[in-house]
Structure 1
Amino acid sequence: MTVLVISGTGIGVGKTVVTAAIAALTRDRGDAVAVLKPAQTGVAPDQPGDLAEVRRLAGDVTTRELRRYPDALSPEAASRRNGLPPVTPAEAAQAATELHTAHDLVLVEGVGGLLVRFDPTGGTVADVAWSVGAPVLIVAEAGLGTLNATALTAEVAVRRGLDVIGIVIGSWPAEPDLAARSNVADLPVAAGAPLLGVLPAGLARAGRDEFLIEARRGLSPWFGGQFDPDLFAGARRCPSDGPL
């Protein structure tokens, strides 16, 4: 795996923290990692965006942002509203390919969900993944409603010929309710792919050393971590939940 596309089931699910966690583990084992953000929306030119957050948490990693739009809209709508040029899947794929020549791993962080429009022709992060032959990692919420969003995302990915390698819960609550605990077992079924990690809520507030520790604890050995989904599910199960 040399390029990995990280897509959420929506906004606010923890994509940037998951991206930073994978980047931190990759960097810690001595591999060169780059993070590509094809489009950043809802952030002014002089404000720090998602890539600044990745560098703060993961350390000295290469980052590249192709477009930035001040309105919190889809990239296509934001570019149209402000009269700015859109980013295209071809441009993003080319940037990922260029970054790969000097890095062991390139992480492409999407905007919102898999089918959020980049340009007037309907290009999406799914098209970027297809163009470079990259697998997709889905970042999902923990609680009620996440199973439908995850299943829809995975089904679209498969229909477009993409390989969904797994799912990560981007923000695990300190006091998970019944739905969250149940979803630990149900999300892999919805995604048709394994659970590759669970990161705690509020992890973005951690210092770099603590962040690396939690990234290792919360992500699969696939990424250099120690996460075991069976152990996690067993530890979170309550007697009143019934059989798994």
Structure 2
Amino acid sequence: MPIVIVTGTGTEIGKTVVTAAVAAAALARGRTVAVLKPAQTGMVPGEPGDAAEAVRLAGPVTALELARFPEPLAPATAALRARAEPVRPDEIAVAAEKLAAEHDLVLVEGSGGLLVRFDAAGATLADAARLLGAPVLVVAEAGLGTLNATALTAEALRTRSLTPLGVVVGSWPGTPGLAARCNLADLPDAAGAPLIGAVPAGAGALDPVDFRTRASTWLAPELEGGWDVDAFTASFAASFVDAGAPGAPGAG
């Protein structure tokens, strides 16, 4: 698994922090890691982007950004408005393969969701994944609404014959509500792939040394970690039956 595509079910759900956690866990196992950001939007030259954030949190990771557009828009629109050349799937594939020749693991972090457009022709991160034959790690939200978004992402993967590596909750709340607790059981069904991690909310604000120490505890063995999905889910099992539910003790 030298190349992994990291996508989200939406924006601002913890994709970059998950990428950094996967990188940190792999580094802790003695593997060399590169993070490729095909299109960084919403950043002007000189600002640290997502790839740089992965380096800050994870440690000695090779970071590569193919293009940068200043407005926080989908890459195709951001490139058009900047009067710049867009990034195309074949460029992403070539860059990822070059990095894979020199690293044990290459993480390709997309922008937003799987089908966000990279160019005017409608090319997406899914096209790059297909060219690479790489598995796709899906980063999902914890709470209400995540099942539909996750199921739609999984359907898009299946229709393109792409392999879902698994699902990671990008920002697990310190005090999860009922929907988040129930979603631990429901997310694998929605994704058609196992739940292989849950990164706590606020992890990106940790001291980098602490982040690197803890990263492997948030990720399952599939991602070089020691996180136990059964134990994690069981710790919230009592929450699946609410005191006010029909048939529950005290329900009227």
- Compare CA radii of gyration and give the structure with the larger one: 2
- Structure 2 match to 1:12: 12
Structure 1 residue 240 displacement after superposition: 5.9
Contact 1:178 1:241 (C-alpha < 8 Å) held by counterparts: no
Contact 2:117 2:124 (C-alpha < 8 Å) held by counterparts: yes
- More moved, 41-50 vs 4-13: 41-50
Structure 1 residue 239 displacement after superposition: 4.8
- Structure 1 match to 2:22: 22
Identical positions, percent: 55
Aligned 1:44-193 pairs, distance under 5 A: 44-193=44-193
Q: Per-residue displacement from partner, 1:134-160 (whole Å, max 9, x unpaired)?
A: 000100000000000000001001100
The SS at the match of 1:233 is helix
The SS at the match of 2:44 is coil
Q: Distance in 2 between matches of 1:211 and 1:26?
A: 13
Which TM-score applies when normalising by structure 1? 0.97
Root mean square deviation, CA, Å: 1.2
Q: Per-residue displacement from partner, 1:169-210 (whole Å, max 9, x unpaired)?
A: 010011100000000000000000000000100000111221
Which TM-score applies when normalising by structure 2? 0.94
Contact 2:181 2:240 (C-alpha < 8 Å) held by counterparts: no
> Are residues 1:231 and 2:231 paired?
yes
- Structure 1 match to 2:214: 214
The SS at the match of 1:48 is coil
Contact 2:178 2:239 (C-alpha < 8 Å) held by counterparts: no
Contact 2:197 2:220 (C-alpha < 8 Å) held by counterparts: yes
Contact 1:89 1:128 (C-alpha < 8 Å) held by counterparts: yes
Q: Which amino acid is 1:225 matched to? A: G
Contact 1:5 1:110 (C-alpha < 8 Å) held by counterparts: yes
Q: Distance in 2 between matches of 1:14 and 1:78?
A: 21
Runs of 4+ in 1 over 6 A off after TM superposition: none
Q: Distance in 1 between matches of 2:223 and 2:33?
A: 12
Q: Which runs of 5+ in 2 are unaligned?
A: 246-252
Q: Which runs of 5+ in 1 are unaligned?
A: none
The SS at the match of 2:37 is strand
